[in-house]
Structures are given as C-alpha cells and as structure tokens.
Structure 1
Amino acid sequence: MNIIPQFGLGTFRLSGQTVIDSVRTALEVGYRAVDTAQIYANEAEVGQAIAESLVNRNEVFITTKIWIDNYAPDKLIPSLKESLHKLRTDAVNLTLIHWPAPKLGIAIPELMQNLLEAKQQGLTEHIGVSNFNIELTQQAIESIGMEHIATNQIELSPYLQNQRLVDFLQTQHIDITSYMTLAYGKVLHDPVLQKIAVQHQASSAQIALAWALQKGFAVIPSSTKREHLIANLEAQEIRLSTDEMAAIAKLERNGREVNPEQLAPLWD
C-alpha cells in the first residue's frame, strides 16, 4: 500500500502569483497532493492557495523538504514549525531531507533521529528522504527503521532510470517519488515516446508520466497551464503494453539533470 499519493503537483521554480495560480488551478481540476520545499521560497504562497481553495485542508497531501541550512539539531524542528506557519497548517503530511550533502559532513543517523522527533511531536504525518543513494538510504534505515521512511524522492525519467536504486528501494518497501520525470522537457521530443504517444492518442509527456506510474512511482510534474495540468492527470488512464515499456527501458542514458556538487551523493 503506497503512503504517497501517486499523483501530485510539483512547485519547483514557481514563485509569487505563478505558484498561487498553479496550485489553485491544480486543486480545481482534481489534484490532491502538492510538493514544495523550504529552498523553493514558495511555502507561503502554496499555503495561501490551499487555504483559499474550495478543497478542505484534510483532503490535500502536503510535502515539504528541510533545507541543508536547517540540518543542525537545534534548527530542524524550528525550521519545520516555520514551514507549517507559512503553509497555514498544524502539520504537513510528509517531510523530507532534501539532499544528503555528504561533502558537508552531514551525519545521516543524527539527521534522521531529529526528523523522527518532528514526526513524534506531530508536526508531520510521515517522513522520508530525497536524493539519497543506496548506501545513505541504508544509513537512514539503520538509524530509524524502514517503517519510518515513507519515500525516497529521486530524479527519474526515461533518460535516467536508476534501476539499481529503484530495485533496492522496492525491496525495502520504500515508496519511490519521481521528480524531473520529463527531464526538463527533453523527453518530449523523443521519437520512441512520440511513436507510442500516437498509438494512445496521447502526448509524449503523458507517455513519460504513464511509464513512471506503471513502474510504481509517484509523480509530481509541475505546470502553470490548466490544459497541461489536466493532461498530466489524464496520464493515469494510459496503460502501456509490455513491448512499449520495454522500448522505453532502452532509452536509459544516465541523463541526470540535477547534480549539485556539494549536495549530491555518489550515485549508484
């Protein structure tokens, strides 16, 4: 049973009125999960959009992520409380460690213990990690137990399939959330995806999202246009054949889009 809603709205790189409109429209057309982060500097706008929408707060699954500046034991929980204030909620549904930042000497066991404390205080319903490789995920598991790690949110697209890490997470029963599923739009012009899209009377974006959903990943694409928000949601209705999934599997090219030197681990 997946803890993480399979379809959510991403808000990376959206700010001000743009993010308010995106969240408001997404909720209007049927989204019930919104993903933000402290470093996105848009939690207040996300909170405003949810508060002003006709959808009840308890129907919306809100995810935020703790930024590296707030990893110290005396900062993590206060920073989350500040996020809750901005998001206009008593608790979020999911809080993630945004990057493991091994080059900054971050002690993962201590970090996870402090995040677990936030959960035990009722500030967040679930906790998890983001951008963790196998080794660091194992450290997190050893620290607090896999039953407390709801997801690892990682970059995944037809061009970056990360199969070793995916296999490991699935054996540990940790949900996988895919971000950058469209690889900054690069996969949209892929001839293989375009050919499959024609068969399904769909777009290549919908095929990429359908591929991720069929692999069992949660997805959080972002968009500012109502028609794209609706089209993305409709990817849930597409069923790809075994042959189509196999064709997409061959698109792997280790095409990583996000890899900040100080924050990223050594990838598997």
Structure 2
Amino acid sequence: MERMLADLHTHTTASDGTNEPSGNIRLAKEAGLGAVAITDHDTVAGIPEALEAGRKLGVTVVPGVEISTVANGQDIHILGYYMNIEDSAFLQRLEELRRTRDRRNALIIDRLSELGMSVSLQEVIDAANKNGAGETIGRPHIAAVLIAKGYVRTMREAFDRYLGKSGKAYANPPRIHPAEAVGWIHEAGGTAVVAHPGLYGDDLLIGQLIEQGIDGIEAFHSDHAPEDELRYSELCRRHRLLITAGSDFHGEKDGAVFHGSIGARTVDMQVLRDLSKRR
C-alpha cells in the first residue's frame, strides 16, 4: 500500500501566505499528499474554505493555527492542531493577539519613517488585500510595500535589513509566553507543538516547554539543518513527544517559494491520529 504523507505547516491568504486556502489544498493534492494542515498566524479564518476544498479533492485537512509568542526577547511560535475552531474563548484570545500584531505593524512603520522610508499603514493594508474577518496582516505585507517602492529588491533583503530580529526597524511589543499559548490550545481541545525550534537557538527554552506540557516538536522543517532534525527527533523520542514535520509554505514570493514547497517536509498520516487523540 502506498504510504500516505502529511504536511503539517502551511499558510494562506488568511495570514501572510499568497495562496487562498483552497489553493493550498489543490497543491497538496498535486503533490500526492494525503493530508495538509492550515496553520495561519493567530487566526483560523482560512480553515472552513480549506475543509470544503479538502472534501471535494479527497485531501484530509488538519485544522491548525500558529500562535505568536515571545520568550527571552524573541519570537517563539506554537502550532496548535485539532482545536475547536468555534470555541468563543479561543477565538477571543486570537483576536487579542491580532490586535498586538497591529500594534507591532504600527511600530515598524514608525521606525521605517524614522529611517527615511515612506510607508503608510493603508499601503500595507492594500498590499495585504484582506477581505475577510479574522485575517492577519504581518511583516511580509510591509515587505511587499518596501519592494514596490524600491527600498529593497527582495523579501529576504527586507527582512535582513529592516524587518527581521536584527533589522533596523524591528519591533516586538509584549506578547504572551509560549507556555500560555500551550494552555490556550489545550483548553480549546487541541494539541500543542513547538514550531521550527532550530530557528531559535534556545534549546533550554525547549526543555522548559517540555516540562510545561508541550505535546510535540516540529523536528522536520524547511529551514532545519539535518543535525537539527536529528537532535529534535531524538529529544521527542526521549520525552515521548510527537514528532511533526511541515514545509511552512507561504506561497511564491519574488519568484521563489518561501520557506518550502507544500510537501517539502512530511510525516506519515498516522501522526494525525496521535495529534487528534493527544488531548
């Protein structure tokens, strides 16, 4: 029997991806995947469309989210799976996070202005082309304006010079701690997984999150080196945590796929059973 695979980390136009949710499902079908997760930043707005597309195309859609948190002065992302996406308390909490994201966008725009770059919030909103409730606007949309105005040439340059954590316009207002996000996901009936830990350079924090009840680790990610994948896989086995994998697909930007194509990192679909039953 053919082994069926799942990509558990993709983004859509509900946050900072370039494809509609149904587009991600179509790409998953074309890649021969059995399942794909929709994990937009601080929103579940894209999931209903994805579920409908999945029913039509015969692809299992895993309802997910990627929650923005801060620890030790840097962004830490927590993936949630199989939450009740109609849970009112959970939806209210996500809305609060989106308001924090809006404040962050305003701070970045102010800092860009101080650097002599004219970027307005309305221009960013127009670049994001949002048309649905609960959708998010993030740094890639600011980068798109910087590119359009000729301040930078590529998305990568925008983040390296201005928007990334070492960039001149970087801003990071107070957010919840990752352990709090884990609690939110659990309270909504979901399973919580640390996203791309190899990007943080803080394995002490990962150890603390294990003690605080994390269910799994995204060991396989498009930006992980082989040694990262081995280290986090072994850490999961040692602590009996779920091992997940995801491309972190955001669509095509500047003529290149960002971070990886759908299906670039996958796990066996049996992990879905474990994710859905973990709680």
Instruction: Tell me the TM-score normalized by structure 1.
Output: 0.42
Asked which structure has the greater RCO (Cα within 8 Å, sep 6+), the reply is 2
Q: What TM-score do the two structures reach when normalised by structure 2?
A: 0.40
